[in-house]
Amino acid sequence: MNGLGPLLRKELAAIFWSPVAYAVIAMFIVLMSYTFCAQLFHSRSASSAPMLFQAASLLILTIPLLTMRQFAEERRNGTLELLLSTPIDDLAIVLAKFLATMSVIAVMLILLLAFPLVLGAFSTPDWGPIASGYTGLVLLAGALTSIGLAVSTVTSNQLVAAVLTLGLFLLLWMAEVLGVFFRSPVDEIAIAISLDTRFTPFATGAVYLSDFGFFLTIGLIGVLLSVAGLSRR
Burial class (CB within 10 angstroms; exposed 0-12, middle 13-18, buried 19+) of 61: middle
pLDDT at residue 44, rounded to an integer: 62
pLDDT at residue 182, rounded to an integer: 66
The number of domains in the chain is 1
pLDDT at residue 45, rounded to an integer: 62
pLDDT mean by block of 10 residues, the chain; 233 residues = 78 87 92 81 69 92 90 71 72 90 95 84 75 93 95 86 92 80 74 88 86 94 90 67
Question: Could you give the CA distance from residue 143 to residue 56 in angstroms, rounded to a whole number?
Answer: 12
Residues in the chain, overall count = 233
pLDDT at residue 58, rounded to an integer: 93
pLDDT at residue 1, rounded to an integer: 60
Q: Which of 76, 19, 62 is nearest to 166 (CA)?
A: 62
* 154: DSSP letter: T
Packed helices 209-232 and 195-204: angle between N→C axes, nearest 10 degrees? 140
Hey, is 2 helix, strand or coil?
coil
Torsion of CA 221, 225, 231, 233, to 10 degrees: -170
Cite the beta strand spans of 81-141 per DSSP E.
none
Question: Could you give the CA distance from residue 59 to residue 123 in angstroms, rounded to a whole number?
Answer: 27
User: What is the residue range of 141's domain?
Assistant: 4-232
Burial class (CB within 10 angstroms; exposed 0-12, middle 13-18, buried 19+) of 215: buried
